[in-house]
């Protein structure tokens, strides 16, 4: 599978993986800010953004997609940053191909399984909308607002909606595959040979994705891991506190 991506900057390669319902565009601001020091690859994972759709959707296949991408682009000794679902892809990839990764950053994701009702509700809300009957983006937003009152979340989700040259609305995201594989994607990782190199786990103090119990598990698996907490940030910490996020990432990668 040939993954879609955006590339910017010069320097040591840095690959960034988005989370569930996301895409590379969500990371353009971070990517451009890091472009002075790194060649940044913003990758669309399968069933997201402009990458191909496929029925199979699991962390093993996401990790293999990333391996194929890095092979195609001759990437080796690169930094790898993954957020949420992308964090688990990064963790599994770094376990399988540790010799290719220099430093690993996992943003607001632990090893355990998650069954956050809001992510399931996001999926159900998107599935309830038939893009063929939409008249405008405002129409889509109005329909989505019946189930998701938060404007910022609706704006994030509606980035997946686009208009074809035939003036029809379509989803970029493969909702059917995500729905069929949802339990796996929110499931936990069981690493047998964790990445031995430098690892940073970033969390927002307003998010419950990495709690104190998770930190104990992380440290038992990655004894040398660094844990950094960003005050005032939730799960989308790179959007809610970009300056602090960039400061911590730069400091870690510069060591």
Please check whether residues 90 and 192 belong to one and the same domain: yes
Of the candidates 88, 87, 85, 81, the residue with the CA atom closest to the CA atom of residue 103: 81
Q: Please state the three-class secondary structure of 162-225 as a single string.
A: EECCCCCEEECCCHHHHHHCHHHHCCCCCCCCCCCCCEEEEEECCCCCCCHHHHHHHHHHCCCC
Ordered per-residue pLDDT tens for the chain, 255 residues: 999 999 999 999 999 999 999 999 999 999 999 999 999 999 999 999 999 999 999 999 999 999 999 999 999 999 999 999 999 999 999 999 999 999 999 999 999 999 777 889 999 999 999 999 999 999 999 999 999 999 999 999 999 999 999 999 999 999 999 999 999 999 999 998 999 999 999 999 999 999 999 999 999 999 999 999 999 999 999 999 999 999 999 999 998
Count of other CB atoms within 10 angstroms of residue 200: 21
Please check whether residues 18 and 142 belong to one and the same domain: no
Please check whether residues 21 and 83 belong to one and the same domain: yes
Please check whether residues 137 and 80 belong to one and the same domain: no
Question: Among 137, 160, 180, where does a domain finish?
Answer: 180
How far is the C-alpha of 170 from the C-alpha of 35, rounded, in Å?
Answer: 32
Q: What are phi and psi of 93, to 5 degrees?
A: -60, -45
How far is the C-alpha of 218 from the C-alpha of 210, rounded, in Å?
Answer: 9
Please check whether residues 153 and 42 belong to one and the same domain: no
What per-residue confidence (pLDDT) applies to 115?
77
Question: Among 133, 160, 180, where does a domain finish?
Answer: 180
Task: State CA 92 to chain mean position distance.
Answer: 13
Please check whether residues 19 and 87 belong to one and the same domain: yes
What per-residue confidence (pLDDT) applies to 116?
73
**The two structure tokens encoding residue 106:** 């996992």
How far is the C-alpha of 17 from the C-alpha of 105, rounded, in Å?
Answer: 10
What per-residue confidence (pLDDT) applies to 214?
96
Please check whether residues 210 and 93 belong to one and the same domain: yes
Give the global pTM.
0.96
Number of domain units in the chain: 2
What per-residue confidence (pLDDT) applies to 20?
97
In contact, 237 and 208? CB cutoff 8 Å: no
Cα separation values, 159 from 169, 172, 244, Å? 12, 9, 25
Please check whether residues 193 and 97 belong to one and the same domain: yes
Please check whether residues 37 and 140 belong to one and the same domain: no
Of the candidates 226, 251, 249, the residue with the CA atom closest to the CA atom of residue 80: 249
Task: State CA 195 to chain mean position distance.
Answer: 19
Question: Among 180, 200, 228, where does a domain finish?
Answer: 180
Please check whether residues 217 and 250 belong to one and the same domain: yes
Residues of the domain holding 159:
117-180
């Amino acid at each position: 599978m040939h993954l879609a991506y955006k590339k910017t900057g010069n320097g040591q390669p840095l690959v960034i993986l988005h989370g569930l319902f996301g895409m590379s565009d969500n990371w353009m601001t971070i990517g451009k800010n890091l472009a002075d020091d790194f060649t940044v690859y913003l990758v669309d994972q399968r069933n997201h953004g402009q990458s191909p759709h496929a029925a199979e959707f699991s962390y093993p296949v996401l990790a293999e997609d990333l391996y194929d991408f890095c092979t195609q682009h001759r990437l080796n000794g690169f930094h790898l940053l993954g957020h949420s679902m992308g964090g688990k892809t990064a963790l599994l990839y770094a376990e399988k191909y540790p010799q290719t990764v220099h430093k690993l950053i996992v943003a607001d994701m632990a090893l355990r399984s998650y069954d956050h009702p809001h992510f399931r509700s996001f999926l159900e809300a998107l599935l309830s909308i038939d893009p063929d009957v939409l008249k405008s983006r405002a129409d889509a937003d109005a329909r989505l607002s019946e189930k998701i009152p938060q404007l910022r979340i609706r704006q994030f989700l509606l980035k997946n909606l686009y208009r074809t040259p035939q003036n029809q609305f379509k989803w970029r995201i493969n909702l059917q595959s995500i729905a069929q594989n949802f339990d796996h994607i929110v499931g936990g990782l069981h690493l047998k040979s964790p990445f031995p190199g430098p690892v940073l786990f970033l969390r927002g103090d307003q998010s419950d994705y990495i709690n104190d119990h998770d930190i104990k598990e992380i440290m038992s698996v990655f004894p040398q891991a660094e844990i950094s907490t960003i005050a005032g940030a939730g799960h989308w910490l790179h959007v809610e506190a970009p300056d602090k996020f960039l400061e911590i990432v730069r400091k870690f990668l510069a060591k």
